[in-house]
C-alpha cells in the first residue's frame, strides 16, 4: 500500500473491495454527522476537522481504527467497552459489524465539544 495519499478517495482505493465498503460507510457516517467538517488526509489517514480535530479513521489488517481523541473515548467509555480501546482510539474488528450509530453519536459529541471551544 502507498504510504502517502492526497485524498480520502485515494486512501480508500488502496484497500481490498470488502474493506473499501467499510471505509466508504465510515466516511459517509462521519460526513453526515459533521457536514461542516473539513475532510483531509492527516497522519496518513482520513481526518475530519472543525474548530480543531474531530476524528480520524484508518484500516488495518484485522480492524478499523477510529480516533475520536481522548475526550471522545472517555465520553462513550461504557458503549465502547466491548472493543479494544486506548486513550484516544478504538478498534472495530473487520469481521464484525461496525457500530455506525455509535460512531455518529461520538462524531456529533466531538462537533459540540469543538464548537464550544
User: 70-93 pLDDT, tens per residue?
Assistant: 999 999 999 999 999 999 999 999
Give mean pLDDT, residues 11-15.
Answer: 96
Q: Predicted confidence band at 3 (pLDDT cuts at 50, 70, 90)?
A: low
Residue 9 grid cell: 478517495
Helix axes 100-116, 17-33, angle to 10 degrees: 40
Residue 104: give its domain's CATH number: 3.90.1150.200
The whole-angstrom separation of Cα 86 and Cα 91 is 9
Residue 3 lies in a domain: no
**What is the reported pLDDT for 2?**
41
pLDDT surpasses 50 at 1: no
Residues 86, 18, 50, CA angle at the centre, nearest 5°? 50
Contacts of residue 33, defined as CB under 8 A and 6 or more positions apart, other chains included, come to 103, 104, 107, 108, 111
The domain total for the chain is: 1
The whole-angstrom separation of Cα 26 and Cα 32 is 10
Residue 1 lies in a domain: no
Average pLDDT score, the chain: 96
Residue 116 lies in a domain: no
Residue 2 lies in a domain: no
Q: Please write down the long-range contacts of 17-22, taking CB distance under 8 Å and 24 or more positions apart.
A: 19/59, 19/94, 22/59, 22/64, 22/94, 22/98
Q: Which domain holds residue 28?
A: 8-111
pLDDT in tens, 17-49: 999 999 999 999 999 999 999 999 999 999 999
Instruction: Give residue 101's Cα distance to chain centre.
Output: 13
**What is the reported pLDDT for 69?**
96
Amino acid at each position: 500500500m502507498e504510504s502517502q495519499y492526497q485524498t480520502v478517495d485515494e486512501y480508500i482505493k488502496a484497500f481490498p473491495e470488502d474493506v473499501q465498503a467499510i471505509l466508504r460507510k465510515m466516511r459517509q457516517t462521519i460526513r453526515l454527522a459533521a457536514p461542516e467538517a473539513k475532510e483531509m488526509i492527516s497522519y496518513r489517514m482520513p481526518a475530519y476537522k472543525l474548530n480543531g480535530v474531530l476524528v480520524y479513521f484508518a484500516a488495518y489488517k484485522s480492524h478499523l481504527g477510529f480516533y475520536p481523541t481522548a475526550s471522545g473515548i472517555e465520553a462513550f467509555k461504557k458503549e465502547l467497552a466491548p472493543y479494544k480501546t486506548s486513550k484516544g482510539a478504538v478498534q472495530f474488528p473487520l469481521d464484525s459489524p461496525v457500530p455506525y450509530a455509535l460512531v455518529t453519536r461520538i462524531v456529533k459529541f466531538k462537533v459540540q465539544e469543538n464548537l464550544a471551544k
